[in-house]
Chain A
Amino acid sequence: MRPVAVIVAILLLVAGGPLARAEDTCVDCHKELPEPLGPPVEGMKRDVHAKAGLSCADCHGGDPKDPDMSSMDAAKGFVGKPERARVPEFCGRCHADEGYMRRFNPRLPVDQLATYWTSVHGQRLRQGDTNVATCVSCHGVHGILPASDATSPVYKMNVPETCGRCHADARYMAAYHIPTNQLAQYQRSVHGQTLLVERDVAAPACNDCHGNHGAYPPGARSVAAVCGQCHAFNKDLFLASPHHPAFDRLGLPECVTCHGNHLVMRTSDEMLGVGATAICVSCHAPESAGYAAAEQMRLGIDRLKDAVSVAEGTLSRASAAGMEVSEAEAALQSAREDLVKTRTQVHAFDAASLVKMADAGVKTATDAAHTGDEALVELRSRRWMALIPLAMIAVVGAVVYLKMRSLDEQGPSSR
């Protein structure tokens, strides 16, 4: 009998933890209840908090060991469902507590609550507007997933839809007098296409420009800094360019002035110059210095583009004919890179530096094309030159054949 008692004791010790955990009277009762009191139990099964070992009482208070309604006494710390206006602080009790959060995920920031109060959402909430977004508007509730989970509403590719749930709803936004076409525009933009269609998470969603917890529209003078998070070269060139002080003076929103914001499209050379599609002419009148600079810059880029295209044609013909032109092809690649650099150089809005850069690329491309031309000339001459040995072979062959015939005719070919 004694060994059995020992085994039972050990089993009780080992199973004691889980058994005690399972004794959660919140879950036991609520799972039987109808909407809205029952579903949270189901939702919590996949919640990141439940996975970290937290349960109802860790947020809502009360005594989960008490099987009676007394478990939800205020005396037992029960706080129940927070009012909407109190949600940020409700979550912030833990999420703004660095010491507490370190026990679960030391890398998670703890400044969400503080930055939230700086956001337009937070500021309006403080003013008593409870229609604005709080934590649960974006993250959900009872079923909250980490942002890295592809089914989370705050997963990168889901962010535009999540913001759009309010911001694209004209009725909901009516009181605020701000546009509601941002989502539709973003979806058509180069950023939206890259993120949502090409599924490339390097492309920005709403929060990459506006911030998330501290969501705020970038002011006219911070646009370049925002875009420059990714487009660093363009930002540096722009900030040193004559457009920077001029735009600031005129109150123009830096990058957005030419590229737009939510509807930012893939750039093209058509945007530059003095043609019908050029943006430059919307400010720069003919015969102004800016007009002339726009024209020169466009001409520089077109020259380089044409030179690259000519070299590509020549080298591909030479290469397809089996000529060895890989060194010229490497030079052509460097000319293509010059074209990329020259297009970036537009943001310095300095025609002289751009033309210099473009013409260096033109020279590289022209040299490559010249090598290709030489290879094609060489190819033709090789084919003509091949006629010489072929003719010699034909002559020798004819002589041999005639000799053979005469031998066959005269000599005894059999014995």
Chain B
Amino acid sequence: MSVARTVGRWLDDRLRVGAARDFLAHKLVPVEHSIWYYFGGASLFLFGVQVATGVLLLLYYRPAPDSAFESVRFIMAHVRFGWLVRSLHAWAANLMIAAVFTHLFSVFFLKAYRPPREVTWLTGCGLLGLTLAFGFSGYLLPWNQLAFFATKVGTDIMGEVPGVGPVLRFVLRGGENVGGATLTRFFGFHVALLPLATTLLLLVHLALVQLHGMSERLGDSARTARHMPFYPHFVLREVLVWLAVLAVLIVLATFFPWELGQKADPFASAPSGIRPEWYFTFMSQSFKYVPPRLFGLEGEQVAILGFGAVFGLLVLVPFLDRRAARGEPSPLVTAGGVLLLGFMVVMTLLAYFKPY
């Protein structure tokens, strides 16, 4: 006991652990919170899983067109627990994107973006973009047929962005077509650029969450609401959620191993029924309903501008929603969110059940 105390004092003198402990001891969380408060934490946990499994995959993965597919196949067939690591990485990626979207919409509908948490919201939006970029870049890395053509279509759509499109497409592809240069740069983005950017933004996001504490429900204030200590009361609940997510991940990875498919063949024709990963289908599906020409522009360009405008409004919502800022209900903003969520759900369902 005295040894532990000695070590503790030694550490406290040098690292000021006590300050952190004091902070935790005084940090409070509203008692009246719901399941929706846990998706940020779940996203964080899944990000951790991605970092851990991603580093393990790096030990064997080779980012070149003639060896990428083979190295992933080797990981799945011959590396001890390679199948598990790869399957966990693929499933956790999808769960993370689902968790991040859920986190976004729960914060949106709880109006937790209202002052003083505008910057937290902005960094969150940035993290959403980075998460989607992780998904888009990671999808290509196994260099299989579906990923190859999905990347082709995806970068083609980016090429339609008015003005910067063609340059953006060229930079992403590393040339005119999807090829070896695309694979190596997507790998670079996926394991260097995006992790660095995400870590930095995540630190700011988490620091701001600690600074402002958890948002009260609209109408409650820090004084009127009942609270529980963050540590250990809330942390234990968080741990329970993380354990549940881990259990779900293990079941998915074991019972539904992520498939590898066929190796990409740039000269083959695109496989039928091709569609992007599920989290991009709401966009790809809605492109199908846009007329070829609209307002003197290509239909797809209009759709891209439309999505850009909606995302812009979403990012700026803390500054636009003046009623919530005053602590009043803002049904108009809620209705807009419901409309957007409904649109995304309907388009995604259409993409899977009635694509044409």
Contact = CB atoms under 8 A, between A and B. Distances in A.
Given A386-B250, A393-B243, A414-B31, A324 B76 contact: yes
A394 B237 CA distance: 14
Interface stretch (A50-58, A106-114, A399-407): A399-407
B294 to A, nearest CB: 43
Interface of A: 321-327, 382-383, 385-386, 389-390, 393-394, 396-397, 400-401, 403-404, 407-408, 411, 413-415
Contact of A322 (B226, B227, B237, B258): B258
B173 to A, nearest CB: 28
Given A404-B233, A414-B226, A393 B247 contact: yes
Contact of A400 (B228, B240, B251, B255): B240
Nearest to A403: B236
A403 B251 CA distance: 26
Contact of A413 (B31, B255, B258): B31
A322 B257 contact: yes
B251 A407 contact: no
Given A322-B256, A404-B240, A413 B228 contact: yes
User: Top 5 nearest A-B pairs by Cβ distance?
Assistant: A322-B257, A414-B226, A324-B76, A386-B254, A404-B236
A53 to B, nearest CB: 43
A415 B251 CA distance: 40
7 contacts: A382-B83, A389-B250, A390-B251, A400-B239, A408-B233, A414-B31, A414-B227
A407 B256 CA distance: 38
A388 B83 CA distance: 17
Contacts of A393: 243, 246-247, 250
Contacts of A408: 228, 233
A274 to B, nearest CB: 43
B77 interface: yes
A408 B237 CA distance: 11
A324 B31 contact: no
A373 to B, nearest CB: 15
**Taking chain B's interface residues, is the majority helix, strand, or loop, or is none over half, making it mixed?**
helix
A322 B235 CA distance: 36
Nearest to B246: A393
B202 to A, nearest CB: 25
A321 B256 CA distance: 7
B254 A324 contact: no
A411 B28 CA distance: 14
B243 A396 contact: yes
Contacts of B28: 415
Interface string B222-263: 000011110011001101100110110011001111111000
A326 B73 CA distance: 8
A324 B73 contact: yes
A407 B232 contact: yes
A322 B84 CA distance: 12
A411 B240 CA distance: 19
Nearest to B227: A415
Nearest to B238: A400
B250 A390 contact: yes
Contacts of A400: 236, 239-240, 243
Contacts of A396: 243
A415 B239 CA distance: 23
Chain B CB within 10 Å — which of A322, A383, A385, A397 has the most? Answer: A322
B244 A397 contact: yes
A327 B254 contact: no
**Taking chain A's interface residues, is the majority helix, strand, or loop, or is none over half, making it mixed?**
helix
A397 B260 contact: no
Nearest to B30: A414
A383 B229 CA distance: 39
A386 B248 CA distance: 11
Nearest to A397: B243
A156 to B, nearest CB: 28
A414 B233 CA distance: 11
A322 B259 contact: yes
Contacts of A383: 254-255
B259 A411 contact: no
Contacts of A324: 73, 76-77, 83, 257, 260
A396 B240 CA distance: 9
B247 A390 contact: yes
A131 B257 CA distance: 74
Contacts of B250: 386, 389-390, 393
A379 to B, nearest CB: 8
Nearest to B76: A324
Given A386-B254, A390-B250, A407 B243 contact: no
B46 to A, nearest CB: 15
A236 B257 CA distance: 49
A408 B234 CA distance: 10
A245 B243 CA distance: 79
A277 B229 CA distance: 86
A393 B229 CA distance: 24
Contacts of A394: 247
B81 to A, nearest CB: 10
Nearest to A414: B226
A377 to B, nearest CB: 14
A403 B235 CA distance: 11
B309 to A, nearest CB: 41
A383 B255 CA distance: 7
Contact of B257 (A323, A326, A385, A413): A323
Interface in B127-148: none
B79 to A, nearest CB: 11
Interface string B250-281: 11001111111000000000000000000000
B227 to A, nearest CB: 5
A401 to B, nearest CB: 6
Given A322-B257, A400-B243, A413 B73 contact: no
A409 to B, nearest CB: 12
B245 to A, nearest CB: 10
A349 B76 CA distance: 45
A321 to B, nearest CB: 8
B217 to A, nearest CB: 15
B240 A397 contact: yes
B263 to A, nearest CB: 9
A407 B231 CA distance: 11
A106 B204 CA distance: 80
Nearest to A320: B259
Contacts of A327: 73, 77
Contacts of B76: 324
Contacts of B31: 413-414
Chain A CB within 10 Å — which of B73, B236, B259 has the most? Answer: B236
A10 B254 CA distance: 88
A413 B256 contact: no
A323 B250 CA distance: 16
A413 B232 CA distance: 11
